[in-house]
Amino acid sequence: MSKKGNTAFLAIISCLLWATAYATIKIGLQYDTPFHFAGLRFIISGILILPFAGNLKEYFCEINKHRRLVAEITFFQIVVNYSLFYHGLNMVPGALGAIIVGSQPLITAIIAAIMHQDDKITKRKMITIFSGIAGVVLISAGRQALKLGSALELLGVLMIILANAGVSISNVIVSVRGRGMNPFVLSSSTLFLGGLILYLVSFPVEGIHRESLPSEYWLTLAWLSFMAAAAFSVWFMLLQRPGVKVSELNLWKFIIPGTGAILSWWLVPGENPDWFTVFGMLVISFSLILFFSNSPGKKQEIIK
């Protein structure tokens, strides 16, 4: 497999893992509060990566050497993103939330163009992005009525957009400044530290949890912890690869809504395929195929 094919394969695997988060997070939040649940999840994720990050002495030396990078990724990727995402998603209708989350590749393309001079916005890239967003809209419209009403819902929209911006900024930082750091150390340390911050914040904000929790909660927590450990480690590794552009890598995230819909058909009683969703998946699939099948050496026109 070529390096380009390997990058695409690993990006798809990461996105498929992330696609499982929406249904499992909803299960976990039936028994737990957002900050406490997210914090515990990421603490465990950070610990799970430790065996792959080298010995402890090298691990802490690496963190100390790149402490500014670790602090920035922890803040933007974990604290800003997940604190805003978990609460924002609870304020808006599910279909609208999915569309806003699905717009992340557009926000990433804009931020990457501002922060990284080699990652420009091209017409081909923008056509792919807007085609992907159109597919997400179709998938969301097929699964739930699109509506927006109260000021609280508008606040939720803003929070999810800011969460997307946090992810995008962290991705660009990893790509630009993270290539000298072991990706397993970077993912382990940022997940653990971000999780610890969210976990500690949960006590004054959400109170202390003393009730016993069912096995379904612990199974969900175990899967989400493993999923985050695997997906973030692979994603950070891809962002650090020479020649990989942040905006183009993030285009693969358009497959997440479609995969989430398929999982719902499979796991959630009463959820069935519909034409809007199927057509939305086809739009996303064709837009990605057309973008990544074009010759990488072909000159692209940059949007001025």
Q: What is the pLDDT of residues 102-143, one digit of tens each?
A: 777 888 888 888 887 777 777 878 888 788 778 777 766 665
Sign for the CA dihedral angle at 190, 243, 13, 184 comes to: negative
List, for residues 24-47, the tens digit of each pLDDT value.
887 888 888 888 999 999 999 999
Contact 121, 181 (CB under 8 A): no
The tokens for 160 are 């999810």
Question: So what's the pLDDT on residue 95?
Answer: 55
3-class state of residue 116 by DSSP: coil
Averaged pLDDT, 250-278? 72
Averaged pLDDT, 255-276? 69
The tokens for 90 are 């609870």
Question: So what's the pLDDT on residue 255?
Answer: 81
Backbone angles phi, psi at 202, to 5 degrees: -60, -30
pLDDT above 80: residue 52: yes
Averaged pLDDT, 254-260? 76
The CA distance from 193 to 46, in Å, is 8
The CA distance from 166 to 28, in Å, is 24
Contact 221, 43 (CB under 8 A): no
The CA distance from 100 to 169, in Å, is 17
Crossing angle of the two packed helices 21-28 and 215-239, in degrees rounded to 10 = 140
pLDDT above 60: residue 291: yes
Averaged pLDDT, 53-74? 92
Supply the mean pLDDT for the chain.
82
Tokens 């912890």, located at residue: 225
pLDDT above 80: residue 177: yes
pLDDT above 90: residue 251: no
List, for residues 74-108, the tens digit of each pLDDT value.
999 888 888 888 777 767 665 566 667 777 788 88
Contact 41, 224 (CB under 8 A): yes
Question: So what's the pLDDT on residue 149?
Answer: 60
The dihedral over CA atoms of 80, 86, 92, 98, expressed in degrees to the nearest 10, equals 90
Question: So what's the pLDDT on residue 254?
Answer: 81
Question: So what's the pLDDT on residue 268?
Answer: 58
Averaged pLDDT, 257-264? 71
pLDDT above 90: residue 4: no
Structure confidence at residue 215 as a pLDDT band (50, 70, 90): very high
Above pLDDT 90, what percent of the chain? 30
